[in-house]
Amino acid sequence: MKPTLRPGIRHQHVFRVPVSKTVPALYPESDDFAAMPEVFATGFLVGFLEWACILAIKPHLDGPQELTLGTHIDVSHEAATPPGLEVTATVELLAVDGRKLTFAVEAHDGLDVIARGRHERFVVNRDKFDQKLTAKRTARMA
């Protein structure tokens, strides 16, 4: 982590919602999801908020070996957004506690606040993380 990784970092990220990010597309294997309205899916919204946090801190990490992984999300999904609308995520790094990063997150679709909450990420070393995954795969196969 670079010394510039400090609370107060803010970022906005804009995304136009395609049909492929609506509820029926979330789990096409599920008839229940397929029967839902075509609105921005909560699962994809969470990923969008994570994306904005990743972009906010990317210049402050020692990449490509250092990256962050989401570990906790506490977000409301307050309004439906149909495909075609642009959503804007606004994120702010609130705290850096060792490798733990805490963000305030919010998203707006031009008409409504559609989400707000908090998100935590941990800074990890890619090689060490990959080694743990390999060990887990090996243990599963044994």
Catalytic residues: 42, 50, 77
Q: At 60, which helix (H) or strand (E)?
A: none
CA distances, 103 to each of 18, 38, 46 (Å): 26, 29, 13
CA distances, 66 to each of 16, 23, 78, 80, 102 (Å): 29, 32, 33, 35, 17
For the chain, strand residue ranges (E) read: 10-16, 66-77, 86-97, 100-108, 113-125
Q: Which of 17, 24, 138 is nearest to 82 (CA)?
A: 17
Answer for the pair 41, 51: CB distance below 8 angstroms, yes or no: no
